[in-house]
């Protein structure tokens, strides 16, 4: 833990604090976020130096993907640290330049202000591919080329299976795989690919006297057949990208520079990069990949048209020149809002004329693009603004300071110095999003025109009018394994109807969901498994972040103890709990009859034996069925408060009335009818709880999201609650008629509602709220009784005044009605929030 934090804070240990350090520069450009931006934050805080942050891969996402086997507390602490660091970097930055749409979405999710964001694509040296791109030849028309780093994420297995289908339709086609293995895992994967290629394509010969040759070759850059990278792309007519997880597709951009038609999978920034100049198919779909390749192999005119359009797009967006021009404008824009107070001197110590560009002295907008829409940051008011850091005024000799660290070299404006922020290591591969055209100066969705071509492939629109969006719905099964076989090309869609697709996805990524410390970690993991926003739309979510939030919310992480499901008993016991639910009421009725038939000491014996029998019957009734809760869920305090409330319902009103009248002078009347009705109500309470549990599980299975389930579970819960109250009211009326006593509907009704809600929560493991509410209610009733008798003390009559006022206005039953009513209302609000969550019904508390 300490080592991880020390590594993250290591950039602060460098020599940034001298006069010629951070305070002497005009702009600090952090070429990465996270810990690499710490010196920039330091310069911003101490000297008011504006900060520019460039991210081709969001460091917070990289942290989630790189987190190892640390314990949950350590991972939670590190995630909180990196999350707050990212938010602070984005808040303090004058401008943020993501390298693609995907990085931009992550930055916005982490708190970046949209007004500060401006996408700047990475620049690549186009001259290396000029000869190939400008040549009239299009390579071998029967050769497919794959170029890249060999690792499982590239899914060469799918490519080999697709090539087998291509060979059946075009027997002369060859596949050249050019690249090197990455690490031990890559070496093992390369060996597996070689073995599969040998099995799928045995060495073939044109005749009996010729030497056999395998149509698939594995080569490396620098070999005799592929001396350089440009020659690799020049060897074939079509370049293929088969990845299931891809950052910014460098090989795709290089192929575009070479003027080659491309077939690629819809992952990462592929659609954003090609922008309508190539064919796009779903990942892990060998059949669609094969059909798209065959389509281009059989249409040389279309290949040439797509290649020309691709080269034109690459020269427009992905060259070093456009990258330099973009950052040059951004530098001048930021510097124009940050006046410089330093004096540049020559070797003799004299002021150097024109040592600082005029733009540095004139705050305001002078470039074409506004980066600070929506209000200027505080630092734009200059060093004279109240509370603004004072920029250094130390004379600086006119010697060039270090250049800005960026994705590619960017010369600073004359006289404007900048220092590179420290880098904390290699950046995460750039991962781009889908759908929007993020080229500088343009907004909105990408332009797609035309019609589908090829089975299940997406044909991105070309300037010449090629088609698009074919097979867009053929998204692969998210999170499925990378291995493919005969059925790998089948279209797999999210299950509809009664199944819960999100639950199925959670089961597939169960380990990820269980160990995640926040929703962003799940989002990063899903993207690493190839889940995109288009995939999330199949699960009724707008993007991967929304899907990750639901998956995270479905894993219980409440402050209260997580609900512990009770193992379902066999169906043969299904009727036992229903019969046992009648036992408390039956025993209580027998006790009431015994009390009516006895007098004196026998009556006391009957009362004691009856109370014990009812307690045993109640314990047996609650020991099984939908109201059953494990012993460790029900605390002794909860049992004590429940016993007090029931005892008060039997004895409390009579004792309170006698106390207010100066008594009690003898035995006071008992309220047997409400207590008998409550005992008989154990049966409808169990039946209502059973109804709620079964219907809730059915709706959980049919729902497609947390909000949908909560919306359907809330009326079900309230309806069940009302049904129980109606049953209790009927029992109160029946008992009152048979015993010729007052029914006390308000007092007994509120007490019954309170006990039902408390038991529903306790049975599902939520014990804290019921214990607190029952304890408060019992304490309030005890306080009312104590206040009445304490009021008899000399000078303490005022203590009984509130109770006397309430009883005089509404009778002695008003005290338990108000107390239990308020407690039941608060518990009902808590129950509607707790039992309408999917986690409360993850496993059934009883047999279905």
Task: Output the pLDDT for position 838.
Answer: 73
- Decide: 146 and 159 in contact? Cβ < 8 Å: yes
DSSP per-residue string spanning 224-275: SS--SHHHHHHTEEEEEE--SS-SS-HHHHHHHHTT-EEEEES-TTHHHHHS
Domain 127-204+212-316 has CATH 3.40.50.300: no
Q: List the structure tokens of 249.
A: 């597709």
- Decide: 289 and 124 in contact? Cβ < 8 Å: no
DSSP per-residue string spanning 438-455: -STT--SSPP--S---ST
Q: Is 359 helix (H, G, I), strand (E, B) or coil?
A: helix
- Decide: 424 and 33 in contact? Cβ < 8 Å: no
Q: Which residues of 741-773 are buried (b: 16+ CB within 10 A; e: fewer)?
A: bbbbbbbbbbbbbbbbbbbbbbbbbbbebbbbb
What are phi and psi for residue 81, nearest 5 degrees?
Answer: -60, -50
What are phi and psi for residue 27, nearest 5 degrees?
Answer: -155, 135
What are phi and psi for residue 217, nearest 5 degrees?
Answer: -125, 140
DSSP per-residue string spanning 102-137: HHHHHHHHTT--GGGB---PPPB--GGGHHHHHSS-
- Decide: 280 and 471 in contact? Cβ < 8 Å: no
Q: List the structure tokens of 597.
A: 């038939």
Residue located via tokens 């099984």: 624
Q: Is 458 helix (H, G, I), strand (E, B) or coil?
A: strand
Contacts of 335 (CB under 8 A, 6+ apart): 26, 27, 50, 357, 359, 360, 413, 416
Report the DSSP beta bridge partners of residue 147.
Answer: 178
Cβ count near 589 (within 10 Å): 17
Helices of type H across 339-471:
none
Distance, in Å, from the CA atom of 452 to the CA atom of 461, rounded to the nearest integer, reads 10
Q: Provide the residue ranges of all domains of the chain, joining segments of one domain with +.
A: 1-123+319-441, 127-204+212-316, 501-553, 571-841
Report the DSSP beta bridge partners of residue 55.
Answer: 98
Task: Output the pLDDT for position 738.
Answer: 87
* Structure letter (DSSP) for residue 488: T
Q: Which of 16, 7, 15, 14 is nearest to 34 (CA)?
A: 7
* Structure letter (DSSP) for residue 652: I
Parallel, antiparallel or unpaired: strands 51-55 and 27-30: parallel
Statement: the pTM of the whole predicted model exceeds 0.85: no
Distance, in Å, from the CA atom of 814 to the CA atom of 820, rounded to the nearest integer, reads 10
Q: Which residues of 266-305 are buried (b: 16+ CB within 10 A; e: fewer)?
A: bbbbbbbbbbbbbbbbbbbbbbbbbbbbbbbbeeeebbeb
Q: List the structure tokens of 466.
A: 């090629």
- Decide: 192 and 484 in contact? Cβ < 8 Å: no
Q: Which helix (H) or strand (E) holds 657?
A: helix 653-660
Distance, in Å, from the CA atom of 26 to the CA atom of 833, rounded to the nearest integer, reads 53
- Grouped pLDDT means (10 residues each) for the chain, 848 residues: 74 69 82 87 84 88 78 83 90 91 88 91 91 83 94 92 94 93 90 92 61 81 85 93 86 93 89 91 91 94 93 93 92 79 68 60 43 40 39 43 37 39 38 36 38 36 33 36 37 48 86 87 84 84 88 68 41 64 86 83 84 85 79 69 86 83 78 87 89 85 72 89 91 88 87 90 86 91 88 85 88 89 92 83 46
Q: Answer positive or negative: Cα dihedral of 639, 641, 647, 650.
A: negative
Tell me the C-alpha to C-alpha distance, in Å, between residue 36 and each of 86, 111, 137. 11, 18, 45
Q: Which of 574, 588, 647, 576 is nearest to 618 (CA)?
A: 588
Q: List the structure tokens of 749.
A: 């009704």
């Amino acid at each position: 833990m300490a080592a991880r934090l020390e590594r993250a804070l290591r950039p602060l240990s460098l020599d940034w604090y001298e006069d010629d350090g951070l305070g002497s520069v005009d702009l600090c450009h952090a070429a990465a976020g996270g810990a690499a931006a710490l010196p920039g934050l330091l310069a911003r805080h101490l000297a008011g130096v504006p900060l520019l942050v460039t991210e081709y891969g969001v460091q917070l996402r990289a942290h989630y993907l790189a987190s190892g086997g640390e314990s949950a507390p350590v991972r939670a602490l590190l995630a909180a640290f990196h999350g707050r660091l990212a938010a602070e970097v984005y808040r303090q930055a004058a401008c943020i330049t993501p390298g693609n749409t995907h990085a931009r979405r992550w930055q916005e999710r982490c708190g970046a202000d949209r007004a500060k964001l401006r996408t700047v694509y990475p620049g690549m040296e186009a001259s290396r591919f000029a000869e190939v791109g400008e040549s009239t030849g299009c390579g071998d028309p029967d050769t497919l080329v794959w170029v890249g780093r060999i690792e499982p994420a590239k899914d060469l297995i799918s490519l080999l299976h697709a090539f087998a289908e291509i060979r059946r339709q075009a027997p002369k086609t060859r596949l050249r795989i050019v690249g090197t293995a990455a690490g031990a895992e890559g070496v093992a994967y390369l060996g597996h690919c070689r073995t599969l290629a040998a099995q799928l394509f045995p060495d073939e010969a044109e005749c009996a006297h010729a030497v056999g040759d395998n149509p698939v070759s594995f080569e490396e850059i620098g070999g005799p057949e592929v001396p350089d990278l440009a020659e690799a792309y020049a060897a074939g007519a079509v370049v293929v990208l088969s990845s299931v997880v891809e950052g910014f597709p460098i090989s795709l951009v290089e192929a575009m520079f070479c003027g080659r038609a491309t077939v690629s999978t819809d992952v990462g920034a592929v659609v954003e990069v090609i922008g309508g100049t190539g064919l796009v198919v779903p990942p892990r779909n060998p059949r669609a990949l094969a059909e798209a390749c065959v389509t281009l192999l059989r249409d040389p005119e279309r290949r040439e048209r797509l290649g020309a359009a691709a080269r034109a797009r690459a020269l427009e967006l992905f060259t070093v020149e456009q990258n330099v021009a973009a950052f040059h404008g951004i530098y001048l824009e930021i510097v124009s809002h940050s006046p410089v107070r330093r004096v540049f001197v020559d070797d003799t110590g004299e002021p150097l004329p024109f040592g600082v560009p005029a733009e540095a002295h004139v705050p305001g907008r002078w470039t074409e693009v506004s980066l600070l829409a929506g209000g200027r940051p505080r630092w734009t008011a200059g060093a004279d603004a109240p509370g603004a850091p004072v920029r250094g005024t130390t004379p600086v000799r006119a010697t060039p300071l270090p250049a800005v660290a960026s994705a590619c070299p960017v010369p600073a404006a004359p006289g404007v110095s900048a220092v590179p922020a420290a880098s904390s290591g290699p950046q995460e591969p750039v991962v781009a999003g889908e759908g929007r055209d993020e080229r500088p100066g343009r907004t909105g969705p990408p332009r797609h025109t035309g019609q589908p071509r090829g089975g299940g492939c997406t044909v991105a629109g070309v300037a010449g009018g090629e088609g698009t969006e074919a097979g867009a719905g053929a998204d692969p099964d998210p999170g499925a394994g990378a291995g493919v076989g005969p059925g790998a090309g089948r279209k797999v869609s999210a299950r509809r109807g009664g199944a819960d697709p999100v639950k199925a996805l959670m089961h597939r990524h169960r380990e990820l969901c269980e160990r995640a410390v926040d929703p962003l970690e799940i989002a990063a993991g899903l993207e690493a498994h190839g889940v995109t926003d288009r995939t999330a739309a199949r699960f009724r979510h707008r993007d991967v972040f929304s899907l990750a939030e639901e998956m995270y919310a479905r894993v219980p992480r409440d402050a209260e103890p997580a609900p512990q499901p009770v193992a379902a008993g066999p169906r043969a016991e299904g009727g036992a709990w229903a019969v046992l639910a009648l036992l408390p009421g039956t025993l209580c009725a027998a006790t009431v009859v015994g009390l009516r038939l006895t007098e004196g000491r026998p009556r006391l014996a009957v009362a004691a034996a009856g109370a014990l029998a009812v307690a045993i019957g109640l314990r047996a009734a609650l020991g099984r069925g939908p109201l059953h809760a494990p012993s460790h869920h029900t605390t002794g305090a909860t049992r004590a408060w429940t016993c007090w409330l029931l005892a008060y319902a039997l004895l409390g009103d009579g004792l309170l009335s006698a106390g207010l009248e100066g008594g009690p002078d003898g035995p006071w009347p008992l309220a047997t009818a409400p207590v008998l009705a409550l005992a008989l109500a154990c049966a409808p309470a169990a039946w209502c709880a059973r109804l709620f549990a079964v219907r809730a599980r059915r709706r959980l299975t049919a729902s497609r999201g947390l909000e949908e389930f909560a919306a359907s579970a809330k009326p079900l819960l309230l309806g069940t609650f009302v049904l129980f109250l109606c049953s209790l009211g009927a029992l109160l009326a029946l008992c009152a008629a048979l015993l010729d006593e007052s029914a006390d509907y308000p007092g007994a009704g509120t007490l019954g509602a309170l006990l039902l809600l408390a038991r529903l929560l306790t049975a599902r493991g939520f014990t804290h709220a019921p214990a607190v509410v029952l304890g408060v209610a019992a304490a309030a009733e005890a306080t009312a009784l104590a206040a009445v008798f304490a009021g008899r003390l000399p000078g303490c009559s005022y203590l009984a005044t509130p109770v006397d006022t309430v009883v005089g206005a509404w009778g002695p039953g008003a005290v338990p009605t108000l107390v239990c009513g308020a407690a039941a209302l608060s518990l009902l609000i808590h129950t509607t929030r707790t039992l309408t969550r999917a986690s409360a019904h993850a496993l059934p508390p009883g047999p279905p």
